[in-house]
Amino acid sequence: MEIDLKIDVKYISMNPIFQRQSVRRYSDIEVTDAQIENILRAAMQAPSACNQQAWEFIVIESDEDKKAISEMHRFAKPAGLASKLIVVLGNLKIAKISSMIEQDLGACCENILLQATWEGLGAVWLGFHPIEDRSLKLKEYLNIPDYCIPFAVICVGYPLKEANPALRYDESKVHFDRY
Ligand SMILES: Cc1cc2nc3c(=O)[nH]c(=O)nc-3n(C[C@H](O)[C@H](O)[C@H](O)COP(=O)(O)O)c2cc1C
């Protein structure tokens, strides 16, 4: 890992934000129910517009379902290799400000990735919404009702390799007072 000497080393070594990276290959060790519950607790701790918390989740455990999801689009292959999948949904019946639901669900997905890292797991976010053909396949396969957005699938498992995330801070992208 490249070390940026301007930031304290504890921010890199102990902070899941800097330890997280997309993990697409996993060992055979199963993720436990307790780890999934911790991850879902973190997911539901995310901020949301008006505190609407209009998220729901489907945990996928069967090899048959994981394989089917892995074939739904060309970047979905990790789903067939992961121990478990978490499908993140937005429930438009619960939503108070539905126009903000994607932002809420994005925050929710990031919390899932960070908690998975904290648990010593690896995870990757597979994009579905708003790409129509992908979302439709997922919706039909999992019997997701019309009032729910099939937002994303997060694959989780024990990583095959140790994480080695690059640091990305770029001063040129930061503006003070005006653009
Ligand atoms: C909205 C979104 C959709 C993504 N979709 C996929 C995907 O379908 N398949 C995949 O392997 N990775 C997917 N990723 C992961 C990105 O490729 C990854 O986050 C990016 O390359 C940066 O690498 P890092 O996560 O290791 O920092 C997605 C990430 C986001 C935020």
Q: What angle do CA 107, 105, 155 make, to 5 degrees?
A: 85
Residue-averaged pLDDT of the chain: 95
Contacts of 105 (CB under 8 A, 6+ apart): 55, 88, 90, 129, 149, 151, 152
Q: How open is the CA angle 134-135-137, to the nearest 5 degrees?
A: 65
Cα(131) to centroid(ligand 1), Å: 15
Query: Whose Cα sits closest to atom 3 in ligand 1?
Result: 127
pLDDT digit string, tens, across residues 62-101: 999 999 999 999 999 999 999 999 999 999 999 999 999 9
pLDDT of residue 14: 82
2 vs 131 pLDDT, higher one: 131
Please determine, for residue 3, whether its predicted confidence score (pLDDT) is greater than 60: no
Q: For the chain, what are the domain ranges? A: 22-159
Instruction: With beta carbons less than 8 A apart as the criterion, state whether 95 and 86 touch.
Output: no
pLDDT tens-digit map of 126-157? 999 999 999 999 999 999 999 999 999 999 99
CATH topology of domain 22-159: NADH Oxidase (3.40.109)
Residue closest by Cα to atom 12 of ligand 1: 126
Ligand 1: distance of its center to the CA of 21 in Å? 9
Beta carbon of 26 within 6 Å of any ligand 1 atom? no
- Tell me the pLDDT band of 7, cut-offs 50, 70 and 90: low
